[in-house]
Chains A and B, each alone.
Chain A
Amino acid sequence: MATLFGSGIKRREDPRLLTGRGTYTDDVKLPGMLYAAFVRSPFAHARVRSVETKRAKKVAGVVAVYTGQDTKDRVNPVPCAWNVPNCDLRTPPHPLLAYEKVRYVGDAVAMVVAESRAAARDGVDLVDVDYEPLDAVVNPEKATGKEAPQLHADVPGNVAFTWKVSGGDPAKTFAEAAVKVELRLLQPRLQPTALEPRAAVATWNDAMGQLTLWVTSQNPHIHRFLCSVMLKVPEHKIRVVAPDVGGGFGSKIPGYADEALVCFAAMDLKRPVKWTEDRSENYKVTIHGRDHVEYVELCGTKDGTITGLRTRVYAGLGAYASTAAPGIPTILHGLMYSGPYTIPNIEGTVYGVYTTTTPVDAYRGAGRPEATYLIERLVEVYARKIKMDPVVVRRKNLIPKDKFPYTVATGITYDSGDYQGALDKALGMLDYKAFRAEQAKARKQGRYLGVGVTTYCEICGLGPSQVAGAVGFGGGLYDSAVVRVYPTGVVRVYIGGKPHGQGEETTFAQIVADEFGIPIENIEIVAGDTEATPQGWGTYGSRTTAVGGPAVKLAADRVKEKAKKLAAHLLEASEADLEWKDGKFVVRGSPDQAKTFGDLALMANVAWNMPPGVEPGLEASAFYDPSNFVFPFGTHICTVEVDVETGRVKILRYIAVDDCGPQINPMLVEGQVHGGVVQGLGEALQEIAVYDEDGQLLTGTMMDYAVPRASQMPKIETASTVTPSPVNPLGVKGIGETGTIASVPTVVNAVCDALAPLGITHIDKPLTPATVWAAIQQAKGGAR
């Protein structure tokens, strides 16, 4: 039987989604259901003097209106769950409904619950809130200044934490270095824009004291825990169901006040309650990503050996520390400062800073895009300074493939890699030399062509639980699977992760089908319901295939081991004499003496003739905790032409060579790369969240926040190399975030390369025509 592992089969989740019969949270409808809507602060920073609900309560259909005063003693604040140690972290409470102060536009002040969506919305207009506006501060660097308003009483200077990483002897290295380059980099805020806004439907079984919550979640078990904390309901009395989820990109990891309040209302009113975010609400309330102001330096020799890297980073956290926020610019960013290079001396300081803005948390790549961007920009500027080809500089500093596992200066150990292999492949696809010649010719004609290269590696497959504990992550990072075989030989696999577009309903079934030699149609993957699935830690950090995949494999192995015992018993042979062949256990040398997986499923489940001491049934569970993270890598190359008259950047070619180890389903891997790259192109070219000085979000709708469209994006050429990871039994690494991580510096490098003749070394992203044009004017010494 041909194996399915490695085969680009069509997705099994698609037929329901293609016919409009998926179930997303807002599709859930319960009898007697009410609808919630929120009164949200129009001010970035203000004291709440009073909240008057009388008029709202009189609106036809309004059932209840809750304020912060009503709820503060009955619920707990939104917890921060990544308490990074050794950085003096301060995480002031984020009340579910503000009652003293609001600290960002969109902070919830009251909740209206009504018989219809429309009535709830009508009620919102009639809640009268008296605010005393206070000063706002939106820039994380400025927020640490003496003049800045203080957000939280016990957080002086708005500094939530000061985190440091150091390896080697950076001070001495920089003091003695022959060449130094430095940059101030902005990594602006981004609005994740999962196409499905967040939503929650809660129902309370008063007799049983049980809460059920359908919610847009990447990690229902984490939501169960967070709801338990916020609502003071024991965890075993909460069922969280994440049905079909319309994209996440990190924004559906955190616990949110509004989701918990929907539960609170359902419990208080003893009726089901639904709430669905509007997009403009989503942009103000759902977490943002990035928001760094960075001062970065690199030093090296005149002939291209990088010797040191130093950073000082102001990482905006927004008004409160969201669920995983402190871990993003520290563990997932600062520990990756070596990138794919052998940089012996590294020092970084990261300030986590509160500002009067929407909380910031994990957004596709989460920390690694920021790290890769700063390294790759520095390498480019360094190469230009020493007048070497940036590709040559990269090649010279890449960790050689025979050095793995390789421990970098920040202390983490990369599992496996062949960085040069991916670089060579990508350069070959472009014909780098030919492009350089074309570029030189074009320059003579007054045309500005550029090529940008990024060699990257990233940390994902989060991660060993012991490490999670050591770095303050408030949970484990193993994952789990239960494989249950039914009497008729069909199989269900319950997993701890919660895929939401990545396709594990297909890829995990491919693993199991191979294992059992049964048709994939006989296997169903179940995810997202805490009542059915074993404890898991969710789908983010490119971890589901790398951590959940091995759990599925292990559980399936256990089932098969038991099936083998039973087969030996039924065939009156010893286990050692059995071999697995074409989906059957066969007695070696006696091909007629065989038991199919179906035979064994039936016999195990009816248990008429079990081997002595073996329990009936055929199912197994596995909790897989990896020994290390995994480190996918690759090279991306992009060529551009810049129209210097208008500042418009045209991508000529985009090449992505990625290595995520063996690919279970290459079609899906390629899809992840396409999506990730385009998300990064959005970041590089057009996406930016903009606040004015008063803390008003100026990119509050899709009319102003430029999510990429089909007509704005190029075709992406993909290829891969395959370097298995020694970390897990499948050898697999994550591929969900590499595209975003690699593409941003690739494009910025290409544009800066194109504009090098004008003396431009750096332009802050996004490289909109307006920004590029302004940089050109400045370089030409024109106005501005």
Chain B
Amino acid sequence: MTQTITLNVNGQALKAQAEPRTLLVHMLRDELNLTGTQVGCDTSQCGACTVLLDGRAVKSCSVLAVQAEGHKITTIEGLARDGTLHPVQQAFWEKHGLQCGFCTPGFVMTTVELLRDNPDPTEDEIRHALEGNVCRCTGYQNIVAAVRSAASALRGSRRPGAAVSGG
């Protein structure tokens, strides 16, 4: 039996249909066609399904779609504005922080939250913060470099008087 779920996804208020057993990630992918969020495991280990729920990074494979009722979801599709990459996306691009790209949306979403909480993380803090995301391609080194670079860019843009870029 499906239920109607009212929620806000990437700034847009909408209604979706889902069975109670539907995982948030499957609703995003199958019902809302937001296929940027991926499923890489079934034990909440890999983080490919990471989205922001009310601004907090969560694994959308471990949240029931019905639990998102009334909440705000941000997916990878909601980051770039008017064709301009979010500074985190831009940094992953510049630092070659992705290869096959499958884990990338999850890493980007986790990083967006991390840098909001900690604008200038050390390398150790970054590696610890990314524990919930698995990448099999990059060996993480360029991901760490990308996070540092994004942090620096975001700090720059947050200086008084500087334009605020991205979400």
Contacts and interface: CB of A to CB of B under 8 A. Distances in A.
Main secondary structure of the interface of B (DSSP, over half): loop
Interface in B61-111: 75-77, 79-80, 85, 89, 92-94, 96, 98-105, 108
A701 B45 CA distance: 9
A11 interface: yes
A246 B89 contact: no
Contact of A196 (B36, B37, B38, B42): B38
Nearest to A244: B101
A278 interface: yes
Interface in A273-322: 276, 278-280
Interface stretch (B52-60, B127-135, B155-163): B127-135
Interface string A699-740: 001110001111101011000000000000000000000010
Contacts, number: 178
A671 interface: yes
Interface string B12-56: 000000010110001001100111111111110110100000000
Nearest to B19: A118
Nearest to B134: A707
A20 interface: yes
B142 interface: yes
Contact of B75 (A18, A20, A193, A246): A20
Interface string A463-504: 000000000000000000000000000000000000011110
B38 A24 contact: yes
Contacts of B136: 193-195, 247, 249, 675, 679, 707
Interface residues of A, number: 58
Nearest to A668: B96
Contacts of A401: none
A634 to B, nearest CB: 16
A17 B139 contact: no
B93 A10 contact: yes
A278 B98 contact: no
B126 interface: yes
B24 to A, nearest CB: 15
A15 B139 contact: no
B43 A675 contact: no
Contact of B102 (A14, A24, A716): A24
A17 B141 contact: no
Contacts of A14: 92-93, 98, 101
A18 B100 contact: no
Interface in B109-130: 123, 126-128, 130
Residue among B89, B96, B138 with the most chain A CB within 10 A? B96
A245 interface: yes
B70 to A, nearest CB: 24
Contacts of B21: 118
B44 to A, nearest CB: 9
Contact of A18 (B33, B85, B127, B139): B85
A671 B104 contact: no
Contact of A710 (B29, B35, B45, B130): B130
A543 interface: no
Interface string A664-686: 00011011001111110000000
Contacts of B130: 709-711
Contact of A15 (B46, B93, B137): B93
What are the 4 closest A-B residue pairs judged by CB atoms, nearest first? A20-B36, A246-B102, A17-B101, A501-B100
Given A11-B96, A17-B98, A197-B40, 18 more contacts: A15-B85, A19-B89, A20-B34, A21-B77, A22-B101, A26-B38, A118-B21, A245-B100, A246-B102, A247-B102, A247-B136, A668-B96, A671-B138, A701-B45, A709-B140, A710-B127, A711-B131, A713-B140
Interface of A: 10-11, 13-15, 17-24, 26-27, 29, 117-118, 193-197, 244-247, 249, 276, 278-280, 500-503, 667-668, 670-671, 674-679, 701-703, 707-711, 713, 715-716, 739
6 contacts: A10-B93, A14-B98, A20-B36, A278-B42, A703-B43, A711-B131
